[in-house]
Structure 1
Amino acid sequence: MTRTVKTAASLAGSLWWEVAASLRKVLAVDDIVLDLDWTRYDHLNVRAVSAGECEIGVTMPPFVDWAQHRRGPLADLRDPDLRVIAAVNLPTWLVAAVDRTSGVETLRQLGEAKFPWKPIMPPADQLLRAWGERILELHGLSTDDIRSWGGDDPPPYARGLRHDDPGDGLPARWVSNETESQLAEYTRHQSATGLANGVFMFVNLASPWTTALSVLRDLTFLTLEDEALDTVRREFGAQRVSIPERLFLGVDSDKPTLGWRHQYIYGRADTDPELVRAILRALNRPEFLDNAMGISYTAVRPGLVSDLRLHPAAEAWYE
């Protein structure tokens, strides 16, 4: 009998969605169908799994960490009891980029120059925005400062999470749960109309906000200060990583930054052990590698961030 599993993903084309979609493909062999809920973006992802509205979810390590420890905006969660099932390989980096014609090479220089930066950023109500705001503060500027210099903080999606026609003149296909190609198309729209001249957000190799924008514009990827990175790592639980040279056009050398090397497939402590074992079996199937984002899986016990724990069935599996 086919089993349907409600799964917290995110917007179609996002890295969480792509991990979940890749898992859905290889789980189908076991007659398990993942029902991907695209509305569980940002902190709504861990909220859905914590509340039992979704059996499993896919998200970044810090979201599980913050939910489990009820930090910040997730302090209202009741007994989240989250457990990691698997860590899949999909690195994420915080990038700060601006037009090369700005003449600046570091984030602090950008602030000192009062450059009218218009970086694509997460919406203000999303948790990942807090990482960026703190980085800005530690470099002597803020989004309010940027706006006062004639800059802006445009969001990455055309119409937020609305599906009705807002009358803003944008094509109807630009809705929040569209696929990667539409996200890239909107990035081109932002660049061509002057809505954006850079990016400041967490991205991966397939994120349109860097892949498209770095081709459309001649960007400089800004250097972030070590002390600021270490402070945010301690405060928010991020990892120190490097953006490899040549990863995107404009990355002229390795750039120290913050990010994560994995995305977590996770559930609760009471998630069905048979489902957990089915997921771990499916991840070992070579077809899991057939995806558009370079997602892979290493079948060894993962080192988890903070003091997060594996699901009991995953513990036994890795032993």
Structure 2
Amino acid sequence: MSRHTMRTAAVLLLTLMLALTSVASAAPARRLKWTAQEVGTGLLVWTTAISDIAKRELPKDVSIDILPYGAIVASLTLVNDGKADIGWGDVTSAWARDGVILFDKHHPNVRAIASAFSESILQIFVTKDFAQRTGIKSLDDIKARKLPVRIVTKPRGTLGQAAGALQLEAHGITYDDIRKWGGSIIETSVSDIVSLMKDKRADIWFDYLAEGHPSATELTQTADIVMLENSPEARKKLEGYGFHPVLTKAGTWRGQNRDLQQLGGSTVLTCRQDLDDDVVYAIAKAIFGNADEIRAAHASMQVFDEKAAWKVPIPLHPAAAKFYREQGLIK
């Protein structure tokens, strides 16, 4: 082989190697779409904080795009339909899986990464004026006396609205009953709810909120409010929807002078069932290893318990389950 031919072959080989290197480096990066909620919400703060923590463990080719919409109900559908990779759920995760209550179809493609971030609770706020005028002690009194009560909830299709309907149903009361007895149902925004309750244009607010929720705190700090419990029989029925018992200590809300036997549920971080194992494993590892930082990220996450993160209402993603097994949390 001549010297010229050898040089030509070497140049061709070098060119080929550079081309292959270029192709490898141009391999598409993985971009994760993570649903949150609009600006100013706690869910967006959680997502930003946890995604920043996750980046420390994620493979270098993975980046995260936070979608500032979705809330929890919509988030589950976005993840199930492949329009998002990661999102949020709670007791609604099981409802979505089964296609019940707020969901008109089964959501089989959603898996859990972690739970126990915060605790939301079924709440019943009653104006003190209404409580004193009627002597109401429980929702059973509404049914027994067919009281004309003005109820406010969030818009239909939200967990807050479902919380009210389910609690009434557990006491044998329907929206039609409320209207038949001369009452009303107003479904509106939280800001309107607070105004209606403060101005005594509504009597009862049903919702599903964490302790210290800003709008509920504003209401209890600026108006006289009484807290009601669901009856023991109703609580048993509500547990069938995935809620679990929660003790709310006296003084949690202004004007609450006794402990309340309530029901709640934990927030769940969800993902597509086919999300890459290395991505899910890295996120689970980052969350477990930075629990103190997560608890400090938002007041509602102070209750985060990394050792309970595997306790979820839907199946864990296999990579998350693998991580928790390695920590000795599940067998």
TM-score using structure 1 length: 0.77
Structure 1 residues 4 and 198, CA gap change in structure 2 (3 angstroms): farther
Q: Is the 8 A contact 1:187 1:208 kept in 2?
A: no
Structure 2 distance, partners of 1:301, 1:59, is 16
**Mapping 1:79-158, distance limit 5 Å:** 80-101=108-129, 102-103=131-132, 104-112=136-144, 114-126=146-158, 129-147=161-179, 151-155=183-187, 157=189
User: More displaced, 297-306 or 196-205?
Assistant: 297-306
Secondary structure at the aligned position of 1:97 is classed as strand
1:54 offset after TM fit, Å? 0.4
Structure 2 residue aligned with 1:223:
229
Q: Is the 8 A contact 2:251 2:257 kept in 1?
A: yes
Q: Deviations over 1:185-215 (max 9, x none)?
A: 6555344554444421111023234211111
1:309 offset after TM fit, Å? 1.9
Residue type of the alignment partner of 2:226: T
Structure 1 distance, partners of 2:52, 2:160, is 29
1:128 offset after TM fit, Å? 5.2
Q: Deviations over 1:108-127 (max 9, x none)?
A: 22444555544441322335
1:98 offset after TM fit, Å? 0.7
1:51 offset after TM fit, Å? 1.0
Q: Is the 8 A contact 2:98 2:106 kept in 1?
A: no
Structure 1 residue aligned with 2:255:
250
Q: Does 1:67 pair with 2:96? A: yes
Residue type of the alignment partner of 1:23: I
Kindly name which structure, 1 or 2, has the bigger radius of gyration based on alpha carbons: 2
Structure 1 distance, partners of 2:242, 2:94, is 8
Q: Is the 8 A contact 2:50 2:294 kept in 1?
A: yes
Q: Is the 8 A contact 1:48 1:54 kept in 2?
A: yes
What is the aligned residue count? 288
Structure 2 distance, partners of 1:292, 1:195, is 33
Residue type of the alignment partner of 2:242: G
Structure 1 distance, partners of 2:82, 2:143, is 44
Q: Does 1:5 pair with 2:32? A: yes
1:270 offset after TM fit, Å? 1.3
Q: Is the 8 A contact 2:126 2:203 kept in 1?
A: yes
Q: Is the 8 A contact 1:289 1:295 kept in 2?
A: yes
TM-score using structure 2 length: 0.74
Structure 1 residue aligned with 2:67:
37
Structure 1 residues 13 and 68, CA gap change in structure 2 (3 angstroms): same
Q: Is the 8 A contact 2:116 2:308 kept in 1?
A: no
Q: Is the 8 A contact 1:93 1:243 kept in 2?
A: no
Q: Does 1:211 pair with 2:225? A: no
Structure 1 residues 215 and 132, CA gap change in structure 2 (3 angstroms): same
Structure 2 distance, partners of 1:49, 1:203, is 23
Identical aligned residues as a percent:
23
Structure showing greater relative contact order (alpha-carbon pairs closer than 8 Å, 6 or more residues apart)? 1
Q: Does 1:76 pair with 2:113? A: no
Q: Is the 8 A contact 1:19 1:58 kept in 2?
A: no
1:25 offset after TM fit, Å? 3.4
Q: Is the 8 A contact 1:188 1:216 kept in 2?
A: no
Structure 1 distance, partners of 2:180, 2:40, is 33
Secondary structure at the aligned position of 2:124 is classed as strand
Structure 2 distance, partners of 1:206, 1:41, is 19
Structure 1 residue aligned with 2:243:
238
After superposition, the CA RMSD in angstroms is 3.0
1:46 offset after TM fit, Å? 1.0
1:227 offset after TM fit, Å? 0.7
Q: Does 1:304 pair with 2:331? A: no
Residue type of the alignment partner of 1:143: Y
Structure 2 residue aligned with 1:314:
320
Structure 2 residue aligned with 1:268:
272
Structure 1 residues 294 and 305, CA gap change in structure 2 (3 angstroms): closer
Give unpaired runs (5+ residues) of structure 1: 158-182
Give unpaired runs (5+ residues) of structure 2: 1-27, 327-331
